[in-house]
Amino acid sequence: MPSVCLYFQVHQPCRLRHYTFFDIDHNHDYEDEEKNRLILHKVVDKCYLPANRIMLNLIRRYRGDFRISYSITGTVIDQLEKYRMDVLDSFKRLADTGCVEFINETYNHSLSFLFSLREFKEQVTLHKKKMTSLFGQTGKTFRHTELIYNNDLANVVEKMGYRVILAEGADKILGWRSPNYVYQPAGCESLKLLLRNYRLSDDVAFRFSNTKWSEYPLMADKYAHWIHHVNRDGETLINLFMDYETFGEHQWQETGIFEFIRMLPREIIKNPAFRFQTPSEAAGDHEPVAPLDVPDFVSWADMDRDLSAWMGNTLQKDAIQTLYAMEAKVRRRKDENILRTWRMFQTSDHFYYMCTKYFADGDVHKYFNPYASPYDAYINYMNILDDFSGTMGKKRSVVREAAS
Residue 91 per-residue DSSP state:
H
**CA distance to 42, 109, 253, 262, 265, per residue, from 6 (Å):** 24, 20, 20, 14, 11
Please state whether beta strands 237-243 and 3-10 pair in parallel, antiparallel, or not at all (unpaired). Answer: parallel
Q: Which helix (H) or strand (E) holds 292?
A: strand 291-292
Please, which residues bridge with residue 273 across strands?
none
Distance from C-alpha of 77 to C-alpha of 129, rounded to nearest angstrom: 13
Distance from C-alpha of 19 to C-alpha of 27, rounded to nearest angstrom: 9
Catalytic-labelled residue, pool 101, 105, 119, 146: 146
Distance from C-alpha of 199 to C-alpha of 178, rounded to nearest angstrom: 12
Phi/psi of residue 120, each to 5°? -60, -50
Residue 17 per-residue DSSP state:
P
259: annotated active-site residue:
no
Three-class SS state of 222: helix
Tell me the torsion sign for CA atoms 260, 266, 267, 268.
positive
Q: Which helix (H) or strand (E) holds 350?
A: helix 349-352
Peptide bond into 217 cis (omega under 30): yes
Distance from C-alpha of 65 to C-alpha of 379, rounded to nearest angstrom: 50
Please, which residues bridge with residue 133 across strands?
none
Three-class SS state of 73: coil
Distance from C-alpha of 347 to C-alpha of 352, rounded to nearest angstrom: 9
User: Which residues does 401 contact at the CB level (< 8 Å), separation at least 6?
Assistant: none
Q: How many CB atoms lie within 10 A of CB 340?
A: 11
Nearest to 188, CA basis, from 158, 160, 161: 158
Which residues are designated catalytic? 146
